[in-house]
Structure 1
Amino acid sequence: MKFLRVVLLTVLLGIAFLPAQAPVLGSGLSFRDLDGSYAKEAIISLTEKNIMKGTSASTFSPAQSITRAEFLVTLNRLLGLESVSSAVASYKDVKPSDWYYSAIQAATGAGLTEGLGGGRFAPKNALTRQEAAIWLQKITGTSSASSVDIQRLEFRDHAAISSWASGAVYAMAKLQLMQGNEGKFEPQRALSRQETAVILDRLLQNTVWSSKLAAKVPDRVQLGWQYQQSNAEFKQSVLSSNVNVLSPRWFFLDADGGISDSGSSELVSWAHQHGKKVWAMFGNRLNQENTKALLASPAKTSAAITKVVQLAQKYGLDGINLDFENVAPANRKAFTSFVTELAKQLHDKDITLSVDVSPDLGTDWTEAFDYAAIGKQADYVVLMGYDEHWSGGEAGPVASLPWVQSGLDTLLEEVEASKVILGMPLYTRDWTVNPSGAAQSSEDLRLGEQTQRVTTFGLRPSWNSKLGQYVASYVSGGKTHQIWLEDSRSLSSKYSMALERDVAGFAYWHIGGETSDIWPALRNAAKYHTLKQP
């Protein structure tokens, strides 16, 4: 009996000291503390949908305040956002070992939250009603209330509502998601778990919003370039990714105007069996002289186009991805003519043509690209949104958000969004810099290698909201290093920006360079974008 009493006491203590912030899976019907709650039906409904959970297997604690972490985790479940276990923590006070880490990382990457500033999230703080209004406004995609609505709905404690929350508070009041008590909103009061249940239940009963929640995320091109991977490795990476269009680097322009061929019918068959398309890449290896020779000769140009079409038919390709870089400015007209004729002959065989271009920086590097003309002929124009700072140049990010946005907006002035694909980097660079910050050398890093470097040197990257990425520095061997990181958060920022412009899709240089958290983070960005649409 003494042994049984010890066991029983151990079990009871285990239940008593379950962390309040760690919800426990349980059925609303099994909670013993709901009889006195005005939210009983809402709680039962939400727990059955696995949107809310109890504080133990048998208790829900309806009157208990909900923490910022608990509320955000609940919103993630409501929205269907996937967990994102990214290597770099978004906040100083949210550790990878915390039960809510992957949920907060996911919501941050999707753009639902930016924390409280200064790298803090305060996950264990009770959520105030006005803070809840801000998050609810974001997920419903609702505009802030107008001055007319505020005057009509004004609460008696209006002065207590923070200026940054006023528009959201009245917008939620107008939607009747959040209501006051005896004419007061009580903005600073902690939101209880039962209030949360009532609010979210109301949201689910809103037919307009619930239909958005059930809406399918639109399909977009998700192109992945093959590089430094065998076909077996490429397949494995593709199956773990969002890629629906494979672009193996198979065809290259030779010095004599011929085209080398390293295609694989087996890879094409595999892709088609898995419901994916193949747009094989045809490149010039950045060789300006070979490209000049090709474009200067009508005979060579005609032969090359004929050969590309034959290769596309030989392998049963769905498309060709034309990657001619470092084309001389003087060849602008000839290159456009080449694209025009290649597109015509491929289209005659029902084969897609996509053309890679660099962001227009007003330099000779992009002078050969007539965006408007190429956009009229090709099915897609792929903007290579990376190499803002390249190996051997000045130290800096590979693809900062404002730089990519500027390049994309410039392209969209001349090519319709339905034809534009944004290329994003699955790599970054570790720069060795001198005391003044000038680059001495750089090393390309895949994102997994970047993560290893962060761990090895114990880096604490800081988020630069202007650049839309983390920045870190360290000293090794007496030399100063600087990294502008690319990770799930920085890539999601660029992804969301492009989604706002309704581009046709995305491309990734290169597959195999990513970490596993990238793909769910980008799916979350797409899901959240869909929910915010009018």
Structure 2
Amino acid sequence: MFVLFCFVFLMNHISVSASGFDDIKKLPNQMQQEVQDLTKRNIIKGTTPTTFSPNTTITRGQVVVMMGRYIEQNGIAKVDKNWEEMDRFMDMPLRVKDRELLKYSTLLYDNGIFKGENGRLNPYNHMTREQMALTLNRLMVLARSYSLIDYAYDLQSDVVDIQKATKEARPYIEALNALGISNVDTFYPKNSVTRVQFASFLSRTIKLIERNHHVIHFEKQLKS
């Protein structure tokens, strides 16, 4: 557990330029650009000064920190000034060493993005792809007051394994696909998310959030 904690801590605290990551240079250009985008924004950091560890699975705690940085930096929501005085999750005591994780777990809990499992954040557990879809949708709702479904209102999805996902996650997985945030027809909802996959998903979601795009709602007319 100590070794795991140290690894997670390093992943959240090593600040480097994305251009110095030797292990992303063989990735598709779009993925490299998405990692660079989040690095420049100080949302994501490397595991060492020269490595990003793109194929390492991402943990729930790491996702909390990345989303928290984006939300706070862009004024989407404010961290409760008393964040160090009240527990939100049973496994995130106020004395925890990683203060950034504690702060942003408070922010995401208070804004309904991370609900936890039986009162626990489980920060060291891997995040599944269907959990990621739910979390990205909550970020969209917080930032723009519309869901991914609203943005994908007239777009088609071609996800072929949607039945393997929980019912709650299915519409958001299809919306991610329809919007091009996910670009694969086999989504593998139960699989873990890697660092580079999450960087791509988050970068594309942020671009949608920041785009001057209006959501159109259609009213269904009942036949008389």
User: TM-score, normalised on structure 1?
Assistant: 0.33
Query: Is the Cα–Cα contact under 8 Å of residues 76 and 82 in structure 1 kept in the other structure?
Result: no
Q: How far off is 1:69 after superposition?
A: 1.0
What is the Cα deviation at residue 111 of structure 1? 2.3
Query: Which one of 42, 47, 51 corresponds to residue 55 of structure 1?
Result: 47
| Counterpart residue number, 1:173 | 177
Residue-by-residue CA offset, 1:391-435 (whole Å, 9 max, x unaligned): xxxxxxxxxxxxxxxxxxxxxxxxxxxxxxxxxxxxxxxxxxxxx
Deviation at 1:58, TM superposition (A): 2.5
How many residues were matched structurally? 192
Q: What is residue 8 of structure 2 aligned with on the other side?
A: 21
- 1-structure distance, mates of 2:46, 2:148: 33
Paired position in structure 1 for 2:220: none
Q: Return the offset for 1:187.
A: 0.5
CA distance in 2, matches of 1:205, 1:113: 21
Q: Any gaps of 5 or more consecutive residues in structure 1?
A: 1-15, 213-533
Matched, 1:72 2:64: yes
- Note if 1:126 corresponds to 2:116: no
Which structure is higher in RCO with an 8 Å CA cutoff and minimum separation 6? 2
Q: Report Cα offsets for 1:261-304 as digits up to 9, x if no partner.
A: xxxxxxxxxxxxxxxxxxxxxxxxxxxxxxxxxxxxxxxxxxxx
Report the alpha carbon displacement of residue 159 of structure 1 after superposing the two structures with TM. 1.7
Q: What is the CA–CA distance in structure 1 between the aligned matches of 2:4 and 2:191, rounded to whole Å?
A: 26
* Superposed CA offset, 1:509-532 (max 9, x none): xxxxxxxxxxxxxxxxxxxxxxxx
Does the C-alpha gap of structure 1 residues 184 and 58 become closer, same or farther in structure 2, counting only changes over 3 Å? same
Q: 2:91 matched to 1:93?
A: yes
Match of residue 198 from structure 2: 196
Distance 1:43 1:143, change over 3 A: closer
Report the CA distance shift for 1:139/1:65 in structure 2 as closer, same or farther (over 3 A). Answer: same
Residue number in structure 2 paired with 1:401: none
CA distance in 1, matches of 2:38, 2:71: 13
Residue 104 (structure 2) pairs with residue 103 (structure 1): yes
Structure 1 contact 54–61 (Cα < 8 Å) conserved: yes
CA deviation profile, 1:48-72 (whole Å, cap 9, x unmatched): 1101111223221111111111112
Cα drift, residue 83 of structure 1? 4.7
Aligned partners of 2:159 and 2:177 also within 8 Å: no
- Separation in 2, partners of 1:186, 1:150: 24
Alpha-carbon deviations, 1:237-283, whole Å to 9, x = none? xxxxxxxxxxxxxxxxxxxxxxxxxxxxxxxxxxxxxxxxxxxxxxx
Deviations 1:451-494 (A, max 9, x none): xxxxxxxxxxxxxxxxxxxxxxxxxxxxxxxxxxxxxxxxxxxx
Distance 1:143 1:91 in 2: 26
Q: Identify if the C-alpha distance between structure 1 residues 18 and 56 changes in structure 2 by more than 3 Å, giving closer, same or farther.
A: farther
Call closer, same or farther: CA 1:205–1:98 in 2, change over 3 Å: same
**Residue 179 (structure 1) shift:** 2.8
Does 2:40 match 1:40? no
Structure 2 unaligned residues grouped into runs of 5+: 218-224
User: What are the equivalent positions in structure 2 for 1:223-302 lying under 5 Å apart?
Assistant: none
CA shift for structure 1 position 189? 0.9
| d(CA) in 2 for partners of 1:203, 1:126 | 20
1:194: Cα distance to partner? Answer: 0.6
Look up the equivalent residue of 1:162 and give its one-letter code.
Answer: T
Q: 1:157 aligns with which of 158, 161, 169?
A: 161
- State the distance in 1 between where 2:203 and 2:111 align: 23
Q: Deviations over 1:9-40 (max 9, x none)?
A: xxxxxxx9882322222211222222122322
Kept in 2: contact 1:89–1:95 (CA 8 A):
yes
Give SS of 1:163's match: coil
- Show the 5 A alignment for 1:424-503: none
Higher strand residue share: 1
SS in 2 for 1:153: coil
Q: Which amino acid aligns with 1:46?
A: L
